[in-house]
């Protein structure tokens, strides 16, 4: 039996800063954050947590926490500033050192190749609406794995292609800020194609395990009314099945509720076997019949539960339901599961005595870790759990206004302060 991975997760644009250093090229988030009105308070990732210059301190924080794994993302525009073409040696060297330093600290590196920071030159050619981006992604995967796969065993291709498609291309609330509604669907297919091509490229370069991390949600119909049931089924198709079925079964779900034909090509590449499925879980979603034109469903909200600072409902058993539901749906085709993100934002402040007291986060993590254990008791093969996040960081359209870290960051001084949840998690790991 392999060791259960207990870790923390971060993403490059959310923590690194140093956006013009050592030859890094611009990403779509550098562009988006400069457009007025896109991000709350006009915040950008220019400095973020300054992790690029504080990796030693951040690795020490993880050593102190006692985790055995770290999920981070590699910035494509640091490695390939133009998106394709020549490698930027200084960009790749940063991750090479990071991997060495993690291994020296006894922490297994688990890199994600794409966590939403597409090189801007590729967006100028359509980004994920352009099928060539899939091939470019595979070349980038080759460049990184050729350098790191001698030491990195487990790789994640994409982070949450659903959220990137929905927020970035359908609704326009994330970079690249396109609001194409259902015409965003090609961004799903090309991300999936990129995932499949990159999976093959990673293996060819020596990667042992390849995962994709999908943001998944249990879908709860608002009532037993057939219109609500049909809407819930449509939402489940779009949010969960669109990015799981092609990878795990080689077939798209029926998209007729969206008035679309599913793509018929590339499924052999997309369904290249993976060694695990990354599951990012935040909350269930309650769905009702559409309230107007546009999408064949509407979000009914989920009252009656505690909420995070973001207003998201806290439903720990939703994670058990999600994990067991995957086993029920995919059966023998389901690879081992890794919870690659789970966590909550809270309005954390440093008290006069220098401590950060976050009992709601402790309750959140305790409830969700127990839910994972219940799923394992019910026979689901779960092999890892990563807290989102190690540090408070740049929370996309919310800027620095939502704090998800086990470690508080004062964004004026960049001072790190472990929260009480950090001490709780450390003690909890000691018992597992």
Choice between 133 and 217, CB closer to ligand GBH = 217
Give the 3-state secondary structure of residue 141.
helix
Task: Report if residue 29 touches ligand GBH, rule: CB under 6 A.
Answer: no
How many whole angstroms separate alpha carbon 74 and alpha carbon 321?
31
Task: Report if residue 341 touches ligand GBH, rule: CB under 6 A.
Answer: yes
> Mask of contacts with ligand GBH, 385-404, x by CB under 6 A?
---x------x--------x
Angle, helices 359-377/317-330, rounded to nearest 10 degrees: 30
Q: What is the 3-state secondary structure (H, E, C) of 14-44?
A: HHCCCCCHHHCCCEHHHHHHCCCCCCHHHCC
Interface positions, 290-319, toward ligand GBH (CB under 6 A) = 312
CB 18 within 8 A of CB 78: no
332 an active-site residue? no
> Mask of contacts with ligand GBH, 41-80, x by CB under 6 A?
----------------------------------------
**Pick from 27, 159, 199, 214: which binds ligand GBH (CB under 6 A)?**
159
Q: Which of 21, 321, 332, 341 is catalytic?
A: 341
Task: Report if residue 160 touches ligand GBH, rule: CB under 6 A.
Answer: yes
Stretch touching ligand GBH by CB under 6 A, among 49-57, 135-143, 275-283, 370-378 = 275-283
DSSP per-residue codes, 120-136? HHHHTTTGGGSTHHHHH
Tokens encoding 105 = 């600290």
> Mask of contacts with ligand GBH, 189-228, x by CB under 6 A?
--------------------------x-------------
Choice between 11 and 409, CB closer to ligand GBH = 11
Task: Report if residue 172 touches ligand GBH, rule: CB under 6 A.
Answer: no
Burial (CB < 10 A; 0-12, 13-18, 19+), residue 379, is: exposed
**Measured at the alpha carbon of residue 216, what is the angle toward residues 301 and 277, in degrees to the nearest 5?**
170
Residues in a beta bridge with 83:
none
Tokens encoding 407 = 């470690």
360 an active-site residue? no
Minimum CB–partner distance for residue 308 and ligand GBH (Å): 9
Task: Report if residue 169 touches ligand GBH, rule: CB under 6 A.
Answer: no
To the nearest 10°, the Cα dihedral for 88, 89, 95, 101?
-160
> Mask of contacts with ligand GBH, 369-388, x by CB under 6 A?
-------------------x
How many whole angstroms separate alpha carbon 200 and alpha carbon 126?
24
Task: Report if residue 163 touches ligand GBH, rule: CB under 6 A.
Answer: yes
Q: Are strands 285-288 and 298-299 parallel, antiparallel or unpaired?
A: antiparallel
Q: Which of 16, 21, 153, 160 is catalytic?
A: 160
Minimum CB–partner distance for residue 268 and ligand GBH (Å): 28
Task: Report if residue 40 touches ligand GBH, rule: CB under 6 A.
Answer: no
Interface positions, 82-101, toward ligand GBH (CB under 6 A) = none
Stretch touching ligand GBH by CB under 6 A, among 181-189, 262-270, 281-289, 324-332 = 281-289
Q: Exposure pattern of 287-313 as b/e (b: 16+ CB <10 Å)?
A: bbbeeeeebbbbebebeeeeebbbebb
Interface positions with ligand GBH (CB under 6 A): 11, 14, 159-160, 163, 215, 280, 282-283, 285, 312, 341, 388, 395, 404
Where in the sequence numbering do the catalytic residues fall?
Answer: 160, 341
């Amino acid at each position: 039996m392999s060791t259960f991975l207990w870790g923390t997760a971060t993403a490059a644009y959310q923590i690194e800063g140093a956006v013009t250093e050592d030859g890094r090229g611009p990403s779509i988030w550098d562009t988006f954050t400069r457009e007025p009105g896109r991000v709350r308070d006009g915040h950008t990732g220019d400095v973020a947590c300054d992790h690029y210059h504080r990796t030693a301190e951040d690795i020490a924080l993880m050593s102190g926490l006692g985790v055995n794994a770290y999920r981070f993302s590699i910035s494509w525009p640091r490695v390939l500033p133009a998106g394709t073409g020549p490698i930027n040696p200084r960009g790749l060297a940063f991750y090479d050192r990071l991997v060495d330093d993690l291994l020296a600290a006894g922490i297994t590196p688990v890199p994600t190749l794409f966590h939403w920071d597409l090189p801007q030159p590729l967006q100028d050619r359509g980004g994920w609406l352009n099928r060539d981006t899939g091939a470019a992604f595979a070349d980038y995967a080759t460049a990184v794995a050729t350098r790191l796969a001698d030491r990195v065993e487990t790789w994640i291709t994409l982070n949450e292609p659903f959220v990137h498609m929905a927020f970035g291309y359908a609704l326009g609330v994330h970079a690249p800020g396109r609001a194409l509604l259902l015409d965003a669907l090609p961004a799903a297919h090309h991300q999936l194609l990129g995932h499949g091509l990159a999976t093959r490229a990673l293996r060819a370069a020596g990667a042992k395990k390849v995962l994709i991390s999908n943001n998944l949600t249990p879908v709860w119909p608002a009532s037993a009314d057939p219109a609500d049931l049909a809407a819930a089924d449509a939402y489940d198709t779009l949010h969960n099945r669109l990015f799981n079925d092609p990878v795990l079964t080689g077939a798209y779900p029926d998209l007729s509720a969206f008035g679309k034909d599913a793509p018929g090509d590339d499924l052999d590449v997309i369904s290249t076997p993976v060694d695990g499925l990354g599951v990012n879980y935040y909350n269930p979603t309650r769905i009702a019949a559409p309230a107007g034109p546009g999408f064949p469903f509407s979000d009914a909200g989920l009252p009656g539960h505690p909420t995070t600072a973001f207003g998201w409902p806290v439903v720990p058993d939703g994670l058990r339901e999600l994990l067991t539901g995957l086993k029920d749906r995919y059966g023998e085709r389901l690879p081992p599961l890794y919870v690659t993100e789970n966590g909550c934002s809270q309005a954390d402040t440093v008290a006069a005595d220098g401590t950060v007291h976050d009992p709601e986060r402790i309750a959140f993590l305790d409830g969700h870790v127990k839910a994972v254990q219940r799923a394992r008791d019910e026979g689901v093969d779960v092999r890892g759990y990563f807290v989102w996040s190690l540090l408070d960081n740049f929370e996309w359209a919310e800027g620095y206004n939502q704090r998800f870290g086990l470690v508080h960051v004062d964004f004026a001084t960049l001072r790190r302060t472990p929260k009480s949840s950090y001490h709780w998690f450390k003690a909890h790991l000691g018992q597992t």
